[in-house]
Each structure stands twice: as structure tokens, then as C-alpha cells.
Amino acid sequence: MATHRMITRSRKLTWASLASEIRVMILKAIADQKNPGWASLASVCKEWQYYLERANFSKIKLRVSCLDDFERIVSPQKRALVHHICLNIELPRYSSGCCSKRRSPPEKERFFFRDGIWKLFSILSTWGPADNLALEINAYSSSDRVHWFRNIYLSSDNTEDDEGAISDASRTGILRHDPRHGWMNGQQVRAPPRSAVERLFQPIPSFSKSLPQVTVVTCLIIRRQLRRYLPPSSIADLFTSLDRLEYISWEPWVPQHYQYQLTKQDLLFFALRMYNALRTLNKLVIFEDSPEFYYPFPARPLSLPLGPYHDFGEWRAVVFASKSQDLQHLPLNPLLDPSEWLAAIFASKSQDLQHLAISFMIDAGNFLRYCRPTWSWSRLQSLALTSQFLQDGLENRKKIEVLLRQAGDLVQKMPKMHTFVLWNGGRGHACAFIYRVDRDRASITWRGTWHLELSPAVVKSWQPAAEKLPISELQVKHECIREVVRSHGDAIYYLQLPCQVIEPASLWQIRRE
């Protein structure tokens, strides 16, 4: 009896035999992992090129030295693939020793900054209008992280905890042992000298001439990792040169200045220019950071030079020249606290916006006080503000109640409002009052490390907003935060604010610095 051997042939598995959904998943995984040489895989076939080129060109990180080849690499046919450009301007290393009191001249840094911005704007000025092109600008010196500031981030896009990030943090902690510069076994035990802090925040002088007009950029991002002091005139030049901006995310540092009021006057001039220039803006997010949030040491006043716009007559003339009648009522008193001027201007600008978040730069009380009874907010959908009064203590309770009732009355004039946030946070404390419209119902929530009972008067002031919805009952919630709050970054993280008040990568940095 013959024995027959059964030989079966398995069908050879090929790329084409895979379902299209599986092929897309594989290509997406390749693009997400970004292993060395992944971009070259786009040359395998047209299908791979379609997916991998889109991922490769979606966000482009540039140094100034890359700009000479930028137009060749991003041909007119590939411009539509670019959605985010990040320009990292590497400033020169310090010309003197890190510990020397002698600083590098700011003119040298201005050349690098001005040259980089000018080159990129010249290139982008030739691009036609496109949808959703974001421009992110950063500037730093590799010397910034030497010795005294070992814990800061100069350029990082991390947004969440992962094993790699934790491992990196542990490794750098081991390297942070430098008693001479205030570091003992990974802990900062001594404040940096004034000269070191001044160098980190030293100013970059203004642009010497107007920048080219750019219509392709609709989003501008300047994150807190850019610590150099940009004069308001430079910020205003950036804003006015990008004449189709719809979204600005700006994270300046508090001007560290012994004549702080005059520096704020410069900021006022910037705000007035912004008001007149940004006619296309829909969303504005401002987060003002400060070294005071980080160092458990006595504050040291710094000595940055005055900006170019400290002539009171000049910015007074700008107010009168404004076409907006909403600005004409402002008291033209140069001795008035400039933060009130800023609050008045941002309050007026809020009428044109869909989303507005301003953290720490102005106080919510001033903002609400300058909202005029005759105004209406037909477009505003979300508003987030901070107030120094939102801290535990009997002396603050009545002020908080007045603030919440004023806000409730104001929201009645905002028919599209779905999110209102009033918050505050820092080392050891965090709290937020949150108004939310979720589908067909409304709620008000107090969330924080300390309890505040929302009085019947406060609830009543927010009730009319709920009465316009199918389910008219206003939900009232109280939620407690039990975690340890080490910084204002932790406060934002644990408050789980329903709208953006800071860039995710910046929040990641703050919680580690």
C-alpha cells in the first residue's frame, strides 16, 4: 500500500494581500515611532510615500542653518503637506565664563534672532494662503542650561509621562550635583546670582526694520521655553506681519525689571497695536509665567533695560488714533496701574473673539469691571481668567462671591458661551469655578484643594444661563483635590480645566522644573 505524502502549499503573505485598514495602521505606527531612517521608507512605493510624506512634512523643525535649503526641500507641490513649522533659533554661546558677571552683548543675539525670523518670513511671504499653518518660534543658547539652570527645558515637545521621560529625569537628577552652583544631589539649594538670571532673561533688541508680510500663517505659538525678553514692539511686529492670524498662543515671562511699571507701559503699547491689527483673530491664549513660581528663595529684582515705548505721549496718541469707540472712554492717566489698561483692552477685544484665556497677566476683577453694560459678545464661546483673590481665607470669601456674581451676570450677554473658568493655583493651593454647558444641561462646579460653599446668591446669578436650555435645572457640584500641589503646573493638571490655558508641552515642562 503506497503511502502518499500530502504537501500543502501555504499562500505567500504579501503587502498587497493585507487589508487596507491594516496597511494604514502599520504605516501610522511607523510614522508615530519615528525610528532612525523612517522617512526614507517613503521611497518604497507610492502608497508608502503618500502616508509617510504626510507624516514627515506635517510638522517641520528648523534651525536657521536649515533655511537655505528649506525652499528646495519643501517644493511648491509639498507645501500643502506642511501644517506646523517650528523655528528653533540657536543663539551664540556665552562669550564669557558662565559664572562671570560680564554678559554677552544683546546686539549679538539680536543678529541671530533677527536674521532667522527675517529669512523664514521672506520664504513664507511667497506662499499663498493655506488652511491651518502654525508657526512656532523659539530661541535659546545651549549655555542657558549650564550650571545654575540644569533643570530647565530649552526645546521639548513632550506632553505626557512615559517610562522614557521618567528615566531621563532620573538620569539628569544624578548629574545635578554641583555645589558650587547651588545643586546638591539633584536638588537646588541655593538661588542663582542676579547676573545668571539676567543672562537667562536678557532682552533681544527690537527689529531694525519691518518684517515681510506673511498670509499663509494662521496660528502663532511662542512658548515659555523662549525666556529671552522680547520687547513688546518686537511682539507687535510679529503679530502685524502675520496678517491672517486666527489663533495666538503666547507665554511670556513677567518682565523682571526694577522699574516694572514702565515695562508694563511697553506692554500696553503692544496691546493697543494688537487691538488694531488682529482683525482676523478668533482665539487668544496668554499664559504669563514668572520665576517667582519656581524658586523658594527671596526674589531678586532684575535690571532689564527699558523698552522703546516709554513716552507717555506716544501711547496716549495711539488711544486717540484708535478707530474703536470702546477705547475712547479709558482714563488717560500715565500713573494708572498698567495692568488695568491691559484688562480694559483685553475686555474690549473679547467682543471679537470665540475663545479667550488669560492667566496671571491681568486679574479677572479688572477684566469684568471694564466690560461695559452696552457691549455684547455674540461670538464668545469660552473664557478663562485668573484672580489673586481665589485663595483660602475669610478675608477673600466676600470678594470671591462678588466676583462670581459679576461673572454670572456677564455670561447672560454671551449667548454662545459653553465654558467659563475662573481659577488660581500655585505651590500648595489650587481652585477653580467652572461653568459648563454639556449638550442640553448646564452646571457650575467648585473644584479645589479647599472648600468654598457656593451661596444661593451665586447660584441664582448663574441660573438664567441654564433656563435657556432644554433641561433648565442648574447642577451645582463640589469636588475636592487631595493631591499635593507643588506648582501652578500641578494646579492646572489636577484642576482638569475644560479649556486650554497653556500649551500641553509647556505644562509638561513646568511640572518638572
Q: What is the pLDDT of residues 101-158, one digit of tens each?
A: 555 555 667 778 888 999 999 999 999 887 789 999 999 988 888 888 888 888 888 7
Three-state secondary-structure class, residue 229: strand
CA contacts within 13 A on the Cβ side of 451: 5
Give the DSSP H or E segment for 480.
strand 474-480
Q: Quickly state the pLDDT bin for 263 (edges 50, 70, 90).
A: low
Specify the higher pLDDT residue, 257 or 345: 345
The pLDDT of residue 201 is above 50: yes
What pLDDT digit, counting tens, does each position of 296-342 carry? 555 554 444 333 333 334 444 444 444 445 555 554 455 556 677 78
Do the beta carbons of residue 268 and residue 462 sit within 8 Å? no
* Share above pLDDT 90 across residues of the chain, in percent, rounded to a whole number: 40
What pLDDT digit, counting tens, does each position of 502-512 carry? 999 999 999 98
Q: Quickly state the pLDDT bin for 26 (edges 50, 70, 90).
A: confident
Do the beta carbons of residue 384 and residue 423 sit within 8 Å? yes
Three-state secondary-structure class, residue 327: helix
Q: Which of 150, 263, 264, 262 is nearest to 200 (CA)?
A: 150
Domain ranges of the chain: 51-410
Looking at residue 38, its pLDDT comes to 62
Give the DSSP H or E segment for 187.
strand 187-188
Of 315-324, 342-351, 354-363, the poorest mean pLDDT is in 315-324
Do the beta carbons of residue 220 and residue 249 sit within 8 Å? yes
The b/e string for 201-234 (b: 16+ C-beta within 10 A; e otherwise) is bbbbbbbeeebeebebbbbbbbbbbbbbbbbbbb
Question: Which of 91-100, 254-263, 287-296, 351-360 holds the top average pLDDT?
Answer: 351-360
Looking at residue 48, its pLDDT comes to 65
Of 255-259, 342-346, 405-409, 436-440, the poorest mean pLDDT is in 255-259
Looking at residue 271, its pLDDT comes to 65
Looking at residue 175, its pLDDT comes to 58
* Share above pLDDT 70 across residues of the chain, in percent, rounded to a whole number: 73
Looking at residue 39, its pLDDT comes to 63
CA contacts within 13 A on the Cβ side of 503: 22
Q: Hey, how many other C-beta atoms are within 10 angstroms of the C-beta on 20?
A: 9
Give the bridge partners for 463, in sequence order: none
Could you give the C-alpha distances from 92 to 39, 149, 200, in angstroms and in order? 31, 17, 13
- Give the span between the Cα atoms of 355 and 433, in whole angstroms: 17
Q: Which of 106, 94, 92, 91 is nearest to 137 (CA)?
A: 91
Cell numbers for 180: 558650587
Could you give the C-alpha distances from 403 to 241, 280, 366, 400, 444, in angstroms and in order? 38, 31, 10, 5, 14
What pLDDT digit, counting tens, does each position of 28-61 carry? 777 666 667 666 666 667 666 666 667 677 788 9
136 backbone dihedrals φ, ψ, rounded to 5°: -115, 130
Cell numbers for 88: 528653533
Q: Which of 169, 187, 192, 168 is nearest to 177 (CA)?
A: 187
Question: Which of 10-24, 186-200, 214-228, 232-246 holds the top average pLDDT?
Answer: 214-228
Q: Quickly state the pLDDT bin for 268 (edges 50, 70, 90).
A: low
Give the DSSP H or E segment for 424.
strand 419-426
Looking at residue 454, its pLDDT comes to 95
Q: Hey, how many other C-beta atoms are within 10 angstroms of the C-beta on 376?
A: 10
Specify the higher pLDDT residue, 471 or 267: 471
DSSP H stretches of helix in 212-363: 232-241, 260-277, 312-321, 338-349
Three-state secondary-structure class, residue 210: coil
Could you give the C-alpha distances from 447 to 60, 182, 404, 477, 491, in angstroms and in order? 39, 37, 14, 8, 11
Three-state secondary-structure class, residue 357: strand
Q: Hey, how many other C-beta atoms are within 10 angstroms of the C-beta on 4?
A: 6
Looking at residue 258, its pLDDT comes to 42
Q: Quickly state the pLDDT bin for 3 (edges 50, 70, 90).
A: very low
Cell numbers for 14: 504579501
Cell numbers for 436: 459648563
Give the DSSP H or E segment for 225.
none
Average pLDDT over residues 282-302: 74
- Give the span between the Cα atoms of 412 and 467, in whole angstroms: 11
Mean of per-residue pLDDT scores for the chain: 80
Looking at residue 313, its pLDDT comes to 42
- Give the span between the Cα atoms of 231 and 248, in whole angstroms: 17
The pLDDT of residue 499 is above 90: yes
> What DSSP designation does 7 have?
-
Specify the higher pLDDT residue, 223 or 348: 223
What pLDDT digit, counting tens, does each position of 53-87 carry? 676 777 889 999 889 888 888 888 888 888 999 99
Residues 6+ apart with CB under 8 A from 410: 368, 371
Q: Which of 85, 91, 93 is nearest to 137 (CA)?
A: 85
